[in-house]
Amino acid sequence: MFLQHKVAVVTGSGRGIGRAIALRLAADGADLVVNFFRNRAPAEATAAEAQARGRRAVVVKADVGTPEGIEALFAEAEKAFGGVDILINNAASGYNRPVMEQKIKGWDWTMNINARAALFCAQRAAPGMAARGGGHIVSVSSPGSFRVLPDYVVVGASKAALEAVTRYLAVELAPQNIVVNAVSPGIVATDALKHFATMRQADVLDKIAAGTPAGRVVTPEDVAGVVAFLCSPAADMIRGQTILMDGGATLPLTGVLNESGRA
C-alpha cells in the first residue's frame, strides 16, 4: 500500500469519477478528505466505504469555485489530519449551451469551479505538502480541451485552462518535490452525461463504444487507476502532462476518411 499514511483531498468525491478516485487511493492506503458541494449523502457513503476498508475519512462540504470554499476545505483537512499530501482536482460543473447561447455568468461559474479552483487549491495546499516532504497534484481534464464537443464551449475552455495551469504548477512546484499532472478521460457513464442533450440519446454509449478502438467506454475505475499511477513513485518523471485515456476514441478521423482510410 504505497499511499499508507498519506492524506488525499479529492474534490467532488461523493459521486462519479471522484468517488472512484477516492476509493482507489484509499485502497492504496490513503486517508481521505471527501469533498462535496450539494449532495451530502453520497459523500458520506464514499467516506463510510473507505472507513470500512480501514482508512480514516472525513466529509467536507465546500464550494471549490469560491476562495472561502477552498479555505474551508483545507482548514478542515488540516484539522482532521494535520496536513495534505495529495490533491485531486476532480470537481467540475458547466453551463452547457451552444456558443451563441452562452452567458457571462455561465462562463464565470464554469471557469471558477473547473480551472480557477485548481490553481488556488494548489496554492493553498503546496506549502503544507512541501513541509511534509512533497506531494502530488492530479487534475481531471477532458478531451473537450482540444476537440469540439456539442454544448461544451465553456467547459472545453475551462479544461484547456486547467491543462495550462497544470504545466505551470508542475514547473513552479517541482523544487518542493510536488509532482503535478492531469488525466483526460474519454466519455465515462456518470450523472454528468444527463446534462448534455446528445448524451441522453438511448444508444449513444453503445455507439461511442463501437467507435472506440478499445471497444468500450472508459470507466470511473479506469480513471482512478491512472490517477493512482500518477501519485506513485513510478510516475515521478512525468511532470505537467495531461494523460489522454480514451481507448483511442480520438484517433480515427471519423467523418473525414472512410473505413479504408481514404478521403
Catalytic center residues? 152, 159
92 interacts with ligand NAP by CB under 6 A: yes
Residue 90 lies near ligand NAP (rule: CB under 6 A) = yes
Q: Which of residues 140, 154, 227, 244 is near ligand NAP by CB under 6 A?
A: 140
In terms of CB distance, is 55 or 159 closer to ligand NAP?
159
Identified binder of ligand NAP from the candidate list 7, 9, 10, 12, rule CB under 6 A: 12
Distance CA 90, CA 209 (A): 24
* Residue 38 interacts with ligand NAP (CB under 6 A): yes or no: yes
Q: Choose the stretch contacting ligand NAP; rule: CB under 6 A; options: 7-15, 23-31, 119-127, 232-240.
A: 7-15
When binding is defined by CB under 6 A, the residue of 7, 10, 18, 135 that contacts ligand NAP is 18
Distance between CA 234 and CA 255 in Å, rounded? 38
Q: Which of 88, 192, 208, 244 binds ligand NAP (CB under 6 A)?
A: 192
Query: Is 106 an interacting residue with respect to ligand NAP (CB under 6 A)?
Result: no
Establish if 250 lies at the interface with ligand NAP (CB under 6 A): no
Residues lying near ligand NAP in the complex (CB under 6 A) are found at: 11-12, 14-18, 35-39, 63-65, 90-93, 113, 140, 142, 185, 187-188, 190-192
